[in-house]
Amino acid sequence: ANDASFGGSELFANAGSNAQFEGTGVIVDGLINILAGADVALNEANFLGQSLVVNAGGDLTIGGAILDADAHFLQGDNILNEEGTLIRVGNGTIDGLGGDRVLIEQLGIAGLSVGSSDPNLTAIARDGKLDLGGTTIDLKSEGSYLWLQGDDILTASILNPGADGVVVQLTPKTLT
């Protein structure tokens, strides 16, 4: 990354163009925040933090990465993946990132308990391809809410859905 700095127990990386973290290991007690004006590559990287926010101005590639946080926000033109990626999700949320409160209320009325109306994992593909095929999502707590947005969504395997299950909301990018 062009402009990476550590601030206490947080990592902020801001790149005007591409950000390459391939094969990198990062362990932070708090927030990991990566912002890039173009592509972000996290292939074979290992990130461990309380919250992980990645906003790529271009494509986000996560092939073979281990992304472990209580809350995740992943955004890119396309989110691309290969076999072997592991995303571990806890019960945290990203401040200011709300979910579909009406959906969560209705599920609650139907007896499905979700820990929060804010998602624990949000992945948005602005140009439409959200490839989580070959990814394993390991839920570290019960009542998880995953929100995936794109026009071409390949979903992941989900481990440990808990007694109450997991809400996986698939939202198209383009409404026709």
How far is residue 92's CA from residue 67's CA, in Å, rounded to a whole number? 14
Q: What is the pLDDT of residue 126?
A: 93
Q: What is the pLDDT of residue 60?
A: 97
Q: What is the pLDDT of residue 97?
A: 81
Q: What is the pLDDT of residue 37?
A: 95
Q: What is the pLDDT of residue 163?
A: 55
- Placement of tokens 């993946």 in the chain: 81
Q: What is the pLDDT of residue 164?
A: 62
b/e string for 124-143 if b means 16 or more Cβ within 10 A? bbbbebbbbeebbbbbbebb
Q: What is the pLDDT of residue 41?
A: 95
pLDDT of the chain, 176 residues: tens digit per residue: 433 434 457 888 899 899 998 888 888 889 999 999 999 999 999 999 999 999 999 999 999 999 999 999 999 999 999 889 999 998 888 888 888 888 888 888 887 767 678 899 999 999 989 999 889 999 887 768 899 999 999 888 888 766 567 888 888 887 76
Q: What is the pLDDT of residue 162?
A: 65
Q: What is the pLDDT of residue 95?
A: 85
Distant-in-sequence, close-in-space partners of 102: CB < 8 Å, separation ≥ 6: none
